Structure 1
Amino acid sequence: MEEKKIDINSIIGFVLIFVILAYMLWQNQPTPEELEAQQKAKQEQVEKEKSDQTVQQEKNTTATIADYTADAADSLQVNALKNKLGAFAFSGLNAKEGQTKVESDLLNLIFDNKGGYLSEVKLKKFVNYDSVPIYLIKDNNASFNINFGTTDSRILNTNDLYFKPTVTKNGDETIVSMKLEVSETQFLEYRYAVKDNDYMIGFTVRSQGLNNIINGSQPIILDWKLKGYRHAKSISYENRYTDIHYDYEDGKDDYMGSRDDEETVNDVSWIGYKQHFFSSALLTDTQFKRVTLKAENQVQDEEVDTVYTKNFESTIPLVLQAGEINQSMDWYYGPSDYELLKKYDRNLDELVPLGWGIFGWINRYVFIPLFSFLSGFLPYGIAIVVMTILVKILLSFVQYKQFLSQAKLKILKPELDEIREKYKNNKMKAQQETMALQSKAGASPMAGCIPALIQLPVFYALFQFFPSAFDLRQKSFLWVTDLSSYDTVATLPFHIPFYGDHVSLFPILASIAIFFYMRLTTGQNMNAQPQQEGMPDMAKMMKYMMYFSPIMMLFFFNNYASGLSLYYFISNVISIGIILVIKNYILDEDKIHAQIQENKKKPKKQNRFQKKMAEMMEQAEKQKQMQNKTKK
């Protein structure tokens, strides 16, 4: 085996490498200044790390203190809510302030989390007299509250509590659920169902799992309040048709009138706060057993620029079902339009005051269908004129009978005066002879009264129809901008009591027409009346009425609907024309006189009433003669 030897070249190479490395290390060693700088930088780094650790420790400490403080505050809040609300403290912690907005084709609605009720209702298709959108609820003018007791001796009001909102969409229906929660499975819920193209909103108040929380031994009171906003130009006129209507005892209806009042009603199906042309109504599927209604007037007079018309309030005790609240209802927020309300088939059309008895019947089955037909193809003002003409033509035969009776009495007047003069000392005998002559001639005063009475239901029905006709609202005609309100041709710089601060032209025209009409008819009546004691006073009274009636019309209708004044103007002009035609072209006094003479010759058969009256007068006459003999 060959022996290994030391390689001198390798040793020399390693030594050289070592020498070179040593030289490089010596050459690159830091100077004393660099060593000092490095030492300083190292010290600053250590101090910085210490500072960062201190800051972090302080932050951690602050966070810990804040967390502790928040926990303590939450604990205090929870305790305060539990002390105040008891089981409903859960709702106070989980529900927050806020609003839920829902829009349909007809309504803009805002639901408030506090109280769970509607805080705003806007009717999208209508504006008021000043072109401002119609709001039935806005700026806290309404409230809806349920007051109830709990089993832990608390009294709560829902309008002070926060509801949790949920909105779901189902086709054309939007469901708004407002829940006042005790837990996720225990709550009091207001459930609203809003449909497109419908002013009726489904509404249910129900509770779940609260049978051991709500105290059934204490009354549960639903309280609904609303201040009606002014919507019309004349607040006094609007206020005259603003009141509370209600339906009770399965179909009966009534209203409180425009005065301040308070009533208690049983078995109520709906309550309507009517503001002339707009209404807010609460309807129930299960009748309210007992309701207290209250209305308070907010209008002092026409001169005061008042925001509200009336303050309405309903107090309704609710009945628990198996310890739970479960009341299915509906809200109606919309126009007081007869045709629209009638479609709901819930007697809501009674919100429109068409008159009682025969007056309402005439409006429902004659004037409303007739006007709806005419206004379907004619402007509303022209429709009023045409309807007035048709009514006057229909009643023209009645007016003819009335004028004919007056003409007969006028012809008989000389003979009647002779009878009264002949028996001036025996009024009973004079009355008997007068009645006998009138009966034979067929000229009884009652023949003129009966036609006038026939016209009264028609006139009164129309008097109710025009102020209630929603279709006339904001419809123009000639110089009139709104047939449902007064027209203005001049504004006065002052206010006249009972008249106002403006001049309406249609009432002036109607008053002039009434004056000439009364001049014709009153003159005819005065000429037909026989002379008798006290007659001059009667003539004066009739003469005064001829001037007083037009003046009363002028003042009374200056603030009324111009559509009604238009009707009276056209009606009286037509009446004047009918009278002139009857007087000049139809009635012939000579023929009437000849007919009377023929009638007087014929034996007149008395009816039962006439016989009874004749017998009573004969008995009275005999008694008077006996008394005179006794005195002698």
Structure 2
Amino acid sequence: MEQKKFDFNTIIGFGLIFIIIMWMMFNNQKESQKEQIAKAKATKDSIQKAKTSLPKQALTAVVDSTATDSVAIKKLQGSLGSFAYSATLPSAKENVTTLENEVVKLKISNKGGNIVEATLKEFEKYAKGSGQLVELVKNNNASLNLQLQTKDNRVLNTKDLFFEPTLTKVGNDQVLSMKLKAGANAFLEYKYVLKPKEYMLGFDLRSQGLNGVLNTTKPLDLEWDLKAYCNEKSIAYENRYAEIYFEHKDGKVSYVSQGTAKEELPEKATFVAYKQHFFSSILLFNAPIENAKLYSTDLVVDKTKDTIFTKQFKSTLPLAFKNGELDYKMNWYYGPTDYKTLKAYDKNLDKIIPLGWGIFGWINRFIFIPLFGFLGSFIPYGIAIILFTILIKIAMSPITFKSFLSQAKMKVLRPEIMELGEKFKKDPMKKQQETMKLYSKAGVNPMAGCIPALIQIPFMYASFQFFPSAFELRQKSFLWANDLSSFDAVITWKQNIPIISAVYGNHISLFPILAAIAIFFYMKMTSGDQAMAQPQQEGMPDMTKIMKMMIYISPVMMLLFFNSYGSGLSLYNFISNLITIGIMLVIKKYFINSEKIHAQIQENKTKPKSESKFQKKMREMMEQAEAQKQLQNKKK
């Protein structure tokens, strides 16, 4: 049997095979390590994103970077349920999308899907030239939150979760869709639509495929909060006009009272407006919101220290499901509280401007606003106020004339009335009867002087409502006043002077001083005539003394109350009193002659007079009273 020889070729072949196998095993191990590292990194990133999207109470359920995808998702689902899907998307990070047109700039955050900045590009805060644009929303002063209640008894807040943004352009409109996803085709969507040159923003809120996720048996609470920034020179004056307005009950517009912790519960709200004197944030609904809850509280306790915010506004708006889904078309308005701008939307928004109720509001809407708007369209607003005042006073001059004429007649009759007073001193009823007969014979109506004054009161009150609400006056200058919508300080001081600072303020305004001087001379000229015209009644206070007191009280009241008011209103009152003094002097000099009036009265006495129904009724009442008195005296 032949012995087998050692084969070197076989040994070399096995060696090469071994080397190739070892090389392949090494490479496979290296690739496997790379894949594991990449996979671990991806898991860590997705979990880190999820952490930021979770409510605080769910953070403890998030796994660390060494966990696997399946474990991470399970724990996220344990905290967020189906909405854990949104936490793993690329959009689950702090970022904003900007919508901007010619007048407004808005930034919408991925987190919460709501507006985090709202800037008005045409208006500056505090004073013209400040370089600071009016910002209604910034630095987390506002929030929008929808409290989600899931079928597995979770309560999630949309302000803590991440939405996926998609920005498109439809024609000239910018359309931003923000979706909070519970799956590829299940989501809650906020859709914003911004048109060119518009303050009004379209806002649709809807859900899709969530009827199996959310508890749809009761409404979800939409919570809208805002801390109103101070945008004007005087925080105290601005705060006076900062309040919540709301429309309800077939177009009726009401407001939440000012003060601490004020609340209203409108039954069917169709819009809620957070009004900040000259700027407003308004949320409008296409369908009435049942059982809304509105809350307002004053943040200005000390006007020398609380200088950033005016009011804290809060709204809780229940949104009901329709066929298991949410579907609401709404609008946001971020813009000026300007009558013409708000009126143009034809949504009753102009009612948030406090122009007064009843006849006062009618005067403002149908006389003051059109007239002043016309004048301001071609002349500076300071001159427009002066011309506006002149036109109003000229229109009222016939009424003023009748008032002065009545006073002159009463003044002429005063000696005869005093004689009757002395003659029937012990019989007040007889005195009244004879006085009424004298008035009738002389052709004098004692009420004729009061009626013209009463007619002028609505116009005076309307002006007190109109000028503080006139957006046109904001940051418009005239003479030394750099802002006709705010006080015209000529002297200011920083020191807090007890009582004076609280009542009068830390400045001296000049227009109120001029208005106080004008009203002093006006009352000085008229109070004597009024006192002389009114006969002294037994048991009644002396009218002469009252008129003398009012001469000094009225100017002091003007100084105290108007020192911190808008200078436009003080300018109006100053010019108004000057014109009234001028009209009064002209009437007295050229139209009223005491001797002629006396002669006319004496002539009237000789003419037969027919009694009016009022005079007849008064005479009969007095005669009945006199008869009863005589009967009682006989019984005694």
Tell me the distance in 1 between the aligned counterparts of 2:570 and 2:214. 58
Could you give the per-residue CA deviations for residues 315-351 of structure 1, whole angstroms, max 9, x where no partner exists? 1111111100001000000001111111111111112
**Could you say which residue in structure 2 is the equivalent of 1:559?**
564
Output the amino acid matched with 1:193: V
**Could you say which residue in structure 2 is the equivalent of 1:101?**
98
Bigger CA drift: 585-594 or 55-64?
Answer: 55-64
**Could you say which residue in structure 1 is the equivalent of 2:548?**
543
Bigger CA drift: 619-628 or 344-353?
Answer: 619-628
Task: Note if contact 1:239-1:258 (Cα within 8 Å) is conserved in structure 2.
Answer: no
Q: Are residues 1:122 and 2:127 paired?
A: no
Query: In the TM superposition, what is the alpha-carbon distance from 1:61 to its structure 2 partner?
Result: 4.7
**Could you say which residue in structure 1 is the equivalent of 2:625?**
620
User: What SS class does the counterpart of residue 379 from structure 2 fall into?
Assistant: coil
**Could you say which residue in structure 2 is the equivalent of 1:241?**
241
User: What SS class does the counterpart of residue 625 from structure 1 fall into?
Assistant: helix
Query: In the TM superposition, what is the alpha-carbon distance from 1:449 to its structure 2 partner?
Result: 0.4
Task: Note if contact 1:302-1:500 (Cα within 8 Å) is conserved in structure 2.
Answer: no
**Could you say which residue in structure 2 is the equivalent of 1:323?**
324
User: What does 1:138-153 correspond to in 2, within 5 Å?
Assistant: 138-153=138-153
Could you give the per-residue CA deviations for residues 64-89 of structure 1, whole angstroms, max 9, x where no partner exists? 47746847253443122201111111
Bigger CA drift: 536-545 or 607-616?
Answer: 536-545
Query: In the TM superposition, what is the alpha-carbon distance from 1:170 to its structure 2 partner?
Result: 2.1
Query: In the TM superposition, what is the alpha-carbon distance from 1:58 to its structure 2 partner?
Result: 7.7
Tell me the distance in 2 between the aligned counterparts of 1:294 and 1:111. 25
Q: Are residues 1:77 and 2:72 paired?
A: yes
Tell me the distance in 2 between the aligned counterparts of 1:190 and 1:466. 39
Could you give the per-residue CA deviations for residues 243-274 of structure 1, whole angstroms, max 9, x where no partner exists? 11111123221222433421111222111111
Tell me the distance in 2 between the aligned counterparts of 1:215 and 1:298. 37
Could you give the per-residue CA deviations for residues 165-197 of structure 1, whole angstroms, max 9, x where no partner exists? 110122321101100001121100000001110
Query: In the TM superposition, what is the alpha-carbon distance from 1:218 to its structure 2 partner?
Result: 3.3
Q: CA 1:530 to 1:68, structure 2 compared with 1: closer, same or farther past 3 Å?
A: closer
Output the amino acid matched with 1:91: S
Output the amino acid matched with 1:431: Q
Tell me the distance in 2 between the aligned counterparts of 1:136 and 1:493. 28
Q: Are residues 1:597 and 2:571 paired?
A: no
Task: Note if contact 2:491-2:508 (Cα within 8 Å) is conserved in structure 1.
Answer: yes
Output the amino acid matched with 2:603: E
**Could you say which residue in structure 2 is the equivalent of 1:17?**
none
For the pair shown, which has the larger CA radius of gyration, 1 or 2?
Answer: 1
Tell me the distance in 2 between the aligned counterparts of 1:235 and 1:80. 50
Task: Note if contact 1:150-1:213 (Cα within 8 Å) is conserved in structure 2.
Answer: yes
User: What SS class does the counterpart of residue 265 from structure 1 fall into?
Assistant: coil
Output the amino acid matched with 2:511: F
**Could you say which residue in structure 2 is the equivalent of 1:529?**
534
Unpaired segments ≥5 residues, structure 2: 1-21, 44-65
> How many aligned residue pairs are there?
582
**Could you say which residue in structure 2 is the equivalent of 1:375?**
376
Task: Note if contact 2:294-2:315 (Cα within 8 Å) is conserved in structure 1.
Answer: yes
Could you give the per-residue CA deviations for residues 339-373 of structure 1, whole angstroms, max 9, x where no partner exists? 11111111111121111111111111111111111
Q: Are residues 1:295 and 2:284 paired?
A: no
Tell me the distance in 1 between the aligned counterparts of 2:298 and 2:36. 61
Output the amino acid matched with 1:329: M
Could you give the per-residue CA deviations for residues 368-387 of structure 1, whole angstroms, max 9, x where no partner exists? 11111111111110011001
Bigger CA drift: 107-116 or 212-221?
Answer: 212-221
Task: Note if contact 2:363-2:459 (Cα within 8 Å) is conserved in structure 1.
Answer: yes
Among 84, 88, 107, which residue is 2:83 paired with? 88
Tell me the distance in 2 between the aligned counterparts of 1:60 and 1:403. 106
Tell me the distance in 2 between the aligned counterparts of 1:340 and 1:435. 55
Output the amino acid matched with 1:467: P
User: What SS class does the counterpart of residue 151 from structure 2 fall into?
Assistant: coil
Tell me the distance in 2 between the aligned counterparts of 1:301 and 1:569. 31
Normalized against structure 2, the TM-score is what?
0.88
Tell me the distance in 2 between the aligned counterparts of 1:446 and 1:532. 16
Tell me the distance in 2 between the aligned counterparts of 1:366 and 1:62. 81
Tell me the distance in 2 between the aligned counterparts of 1:152 and 1:493. 60
Tell me the distance in 2 between the aligned counterparts of 1:259 and 1:404. 47
User: What does 1:179-194 correspond to in 2, within 5 Å?
Assistant: 179-194=179-194
**Could you say which residue in structure 1 is the equivalent of 2:590?**
585
Task: Note if contact 1:241-1:258 (Cα within 8 Å) is conserved in structure 2.
Answer: no
Q: Are residues 1:394 and 2:362 paired?
A: no
Tell me the distance in 2 between the aligned counterparts of 1:531 and 1:212. 84
Question: Over aligned residues, Cα RMSD in angstroms?
Answer: 2.1
User: What does 1:203-282 correspond to in 2, within 5 Å?
Assistant: 203-260=203-260, 261-282=262-283
Query: In the TM superposition, what is the alpha-carbon distance from 1:534 to its structure 2 partner?
Result: 5.1
Could you give the per-residue CA deviations for residues 110-156 of structure 1, whole angstroms, max 9, x where no partner exists? 11111100001000110111422100000111111111311122112
Tell me the distance in 1 between the aligned counterparts of 2:524 and 2:119. 51
Could you give the per-residue CA deviations for residues 214-247 of structure 1, whole angstroms, max 9, x where no partner exists? 1112331111111111011111111111111111
Output the amino acid matched with 1:96: A
Output the amino acid matched with 2:352: L
Query: In the TM superposition, what is the alpha-carbon distance from 1:409 to its structure 2 partner?
Result: 0.6
Could you give the per-residue CA deviations for residues 422-450 of structure 1, whole angstroms, max 9, x where no partner exists? 11111111111112212222322210000
Task: Note if contact 1:413-1:530 (Cα within 8 Å) is conserved in structure 2.
Answer: yes
Output the amino acid matched with 1:306: T
Task: Note if contact 2:134-2:231 (Cα within 8 Å) is conserved in structure 1.
Answer: yes
Tell me the distance in 2 between the aligned counterparts of 1:154 and 1:512. 69
**Could you say which residue in structure 2 is the equivalent of 1:419?**
420
Task: Note if contact 2:386-2:575 (Cα within 8 Å) is conserved in structure 1.
Answer: yes
Query: In the TM superposition, what is the alpha-carbon distance from 1:531 to its structure 2 partner?
Result: 3.6
User: What SS class does the counterpart of residue 210 from structure 1 fall into?
Assistant: coil
Q: CA 1:175 to 1:536, structure 2 compared with 1: closer, same or farther past 3 Å?
A: closer
User: What SS class does the counterpart of residue 500 from structure 1 fall into?
Assistant: coil
Query: In the TM superposition, what is the alpha-carbon distance from 1:535 to its structure 2 partner?
Result: 6.2
Task: Note if contact 1:91-1:180 (Cα within 8 Å) is conserved in structure 2.
Answer: yes
User: What SS class does the counterpart of residue 624 from structure 2 fall into?
Assistant: helix
